[in-house]
Amino acid sequence: MLYDVFICHASEDKVEFVRHLAARLKARRIEVWYDEFSLKLGDSLRQSIDKGLSKSRYGVVVLSNAFFKKNWTNWELDGLVARQMNQSGGNKLIIPIWHNISKEDITAYSPSLADKVAINSSEDLDGIVNKIEDVLNPKGSTLLIARDFLIKKGIEPPIVTDDWWLDMLEYCGKEYLYHEYLSFPIPWINESPENRGVNIAKHILQKLWQDKAEEVLLSQLSKPEDVWRFI
């Protein structure tokens, strides 16, 4: 998958709600397919949307009176419903948000959508994003926890789909596997996402510091004042 969420919406709802939601999701480092972010000059609109629909883990569907009147939004919703019906395991792909509408409005449009637990756009925006994150990663994501730990330490890692993370994980599993001086354990699979993420981040910090020390030719023979400046 390339994206965490695809935002399905009517253009009339951009200014009041959808644009703010997309920006807040992006600020949380959630990978979002949103037309103002994802479409570039010369792109085929249909092909780009098809890609977004097929390559997103979930669809955030902003239901509104404007949404109900659009053929295009209904086509996007049909694509998400088709994916949900065809996948195994019964996972729910659609995250509905009710925007300035009532349950009666939803029921008149689609009784099956009215039966789904939904988010209301009148809620606090951070609260809405928190609820979406809870759906995306209900038990926490190991790499996202590692990423956020690094960010708090002043490191700006690439997105978690970048091969940089594979290099870092290989380092975690090999470089210091048998070194007794490490004060934190290797994050094996039976650990919780929280523990695994934090431990991976610590290993990554160790590697980044070591790489930097090698770059500036720091060693056990370096002068104490040089080591202090490096630290």
- Decide if pLDDT at 34 tops 60: yes
Burial 179-212 (b: 16+ CB within 10 A, else e): eeeeeeebbeeebebebbbbbbbbbbebbeeeee
Say what the pLDDT of residue 157 is: 86
Of 27-36, 87-96, 122-131, 147-156, the least confident: 87-96
The CATH number for 3-136, chosen from 3.40.710.10, 3.40.50.1100, 3.40.50.10140, 3.40.50.12780, is: 3.40.50.10140
Of the pLDDT bands very low, low, confident and very high (cuts 50, 70, 90), residue 174 is: low
Tell me the pairing of strands 56-63 and 119-120. Answer: unpaired
The candidate with the shortest Cα–Cα distance to 29, out of 127, 124, 132, 120, is 132
Residue 221 confidence (pLDDT) above 70: no
Residue pLDDT, tens place only, 48-81: 677 767 888 888 999 999 998 888 888 888 888 8
Question: Which percentage of the chain shows pLDDT scores above 90?
Answer: 18
pLDDT band with cut points at 50, 70 and 90 for residue 24: very high
pLDDT over 90 at 210, yes or no: no
Arithmetic mean of pLDDT, 129-153: 84
Question: Is pLDDT at 181 greater than 50 in this prediction?
Answer: no
Question: Residue 94, CB half-sphere, CA atoms under 13 Å: how many?
Answer: 25
- Supply the pLDDT for residue 44: 54
Mean model confidence pLDDT for the chain = 79
- Per DSSP (E only), the strands in the chain are 3-8, 32-33, 56-63, 94-98, 119-120
Separation between Cα atoms, residue 91 and residue 155, nearest integer Å: 34
| pLDDT (tens digit per residue) in 79-131 | 888 887 776 555 678 899 999 998 898 888 888 887 788 899 999 999 999 99
Give me the catalytic one of 12, 16, 76, 180.
76
The pLDDT score that the predictor gives to residue 180 is 46
Spatial CB neighbours of 120, under 8 Å, sequence gap ≥ 6? 97, 98
- The residue ranges of every structural domain in the chain are 3-136, 142-230
Beta-carbon contacts of 27 under 8 Å, excluding residues fewer than 6 positions away, are none
What's 13's DSSP letter?
A: G
Is 76 tagged catalytic? yes
Lowest mean pLDDT among 4-13, 78-87, 169-178, 199-208: 169-178
Structure confidence at residue 189 (pLDDT): 60
Coil vs helix vs strand at 95: strand
